[in-house]
Amino acid sequence: MQWFRMCDLFFWASTLSSTALVEIRDLNFTYDKRPVLQGINMTFPKGKMVAIMGLSGCGKTTLLRHIGGALKPSKGSVKIDGQVMHELDQAGLYAMRRKMGMLFQFGALFTDLSVYDNVAFQMREHTDLPEDIIHDLVMMKLHAVGLRGAQDMMPSELSGGMARRVALARTVALDPMLVMYDEPFAGLDAISLSVIGDLIRRLNDALGATSIIVTHDIQESLKIVDYVYFMAGGVIVAEGTPDELRACDTDFVRQFVHGEMDGPMPFHYPSGDYRQELNLRD
């Protein structure tokens, strides 16, 4: 068992050093004098799917916004494909973002455009492709997510799962090298959740892209990702492959993986004495 774990770690370490697409080094971010991220070091190898997990408010989405270049770090850096994100000017940032895709928590589809036009949006904005080629590409993307028949529908007519699949088709419209997913499983029923999880994995493998999934849905994520970082309070508290984390016996990972009430992560937000609040006498 130990031997397998060592092999696994050795394999991951060799993958990281040779072909890292995204490297985060000593990333710190302070908002309104409150430290949100502290000393984050992460590596995302090319072609792999990596999950960033943690409870709500632990800094996952803030980290994703740093990777996308939407926020500048207080200290440290995010390097993508050899370029430091916060040193890029707007033209450089936009050039980098053309190679990225991001799936937002609730899809963020453009509500005034049809499903077809949503998927075609980036193709029309960034390429000079003729409309018949765009049509074929959109059909291929919609077919990949099983929604070719919904091309004329408006976002308001779609269910939550369908909207997420359309958003997924739009995210990979220009075959990005890096795809980021912000809570892709939030608010989905069991079947949609499984469909989306499977789609994300298949699309990642088909595109040869690198995927970063920010989520708190541990069971679904552990099925599809190659590596996991656990965050709490703005720092990394655990990391490893899914098998390692299932076998891990640290308090935090056990509480998170098994959804236990008792553990290092408190249920209550810091507050005063409860009995005093209710004016109860001893």
Partner 1 sequence: MAAMKTVRAIGHRVVDAVWRMGSATRFFALVLLYSASSFRRFRLVIKELFSSGVMSLIIILVAGLFVGMVLGLQGYETLKRYGSESALGSLVALSLVRELGPVLAALLFASRAGSAMTAEIGLMKATEQISAMEMMAVNPIARIVAPRFWAGVISMPLLAAMFSAVGVFGGYLVGVVQIGVDEGSFWAQMQAAVDFREDILNGVLKSFVFGTVVTVIALFEGYDAQPTAEGVSGATTRTVVNSSLAILMLDFVLTAIMFRGN
Q: Write out the residues near partner 1 by the rule CB under 8 A.
A: 68, 70, 93-95, 97-98, 100-102, 104-106, 108-111, 121-122, 125-126
Q: How far is the CB of 187 from partner 1 (least distance, A)?
A: 14
C-alpha–C-alpha distance, residues 197 and 176, integer Å: 18
Residue from 44, 23, 18, 89 nearest 181 by CA: 44
| Cβ proximity to partner 1, 31 vs 110, nearer residue | 110
| Cβ proximity to partner 1, 93 vs 222, nearer residue | 93
Q: How far is the CB of 122 from partner 1 (least distance, A)?
A: 5
| Cβ proximity to partner 1, 108 vs 265, nearer residue | 108
Query: 255 near 264, Cβ under 8 Å?
Result: yes
CA 246 to chain centre: 20
CA 57 to chain centre: 15
Q: How far is the CB of 22 from partner 1 (least distance, A)?
A: 15
Query: 257 near 54, Cβ under 8 Å?
Result: no
Query: 51 near 229, Cβ under 8 Å?
Result: yes
C-alpha–C-alpha distance, residues 191 and 187, integer Å: 12
Q: How far is the CB of 113 from partner 1 (least distance, A)?
A: 10
| Cβ proximity to partner 1, 48 vs 97, nearer residue | 97
Q: What residues form DSSP beta bridges with 230?
A: 53, 238
Query: 222 near 228, Cβ under 8 Å?
Result: yes
Q: How far is the CB of 202 from partner 1 (least distance, A)?
A: 22
Q: Which two tokens stand for residue 263?
A: 């553990």
Residue from 193, 194, 207, 191 nearest 140 by CA: 207
| Cβ proximity to partner 1, 108 vs 235, nearer residue | 108
| Cβ proximity to partner 1, 155 vs 242, nearer residue | 155
C-alpha–C-alpha distance, residues 169 and 120, integer Å: 10
Q: How far is the CB of 267 from partner 1 (least distance, A)?
A: 26
| Cβ proximity to partner 1, 111 vs 276, nearer residue | 111
Q: How far is the CB of 14 from partner 1 (least distance, A)?
A: 31
Taking 3-state DSSP, the helix, strand and coil percentages for the chain, each rounded to the nearest 5, stand at: 45, 25, 35
Residue from 194, 182, 191 nearest 101 by CA: 182
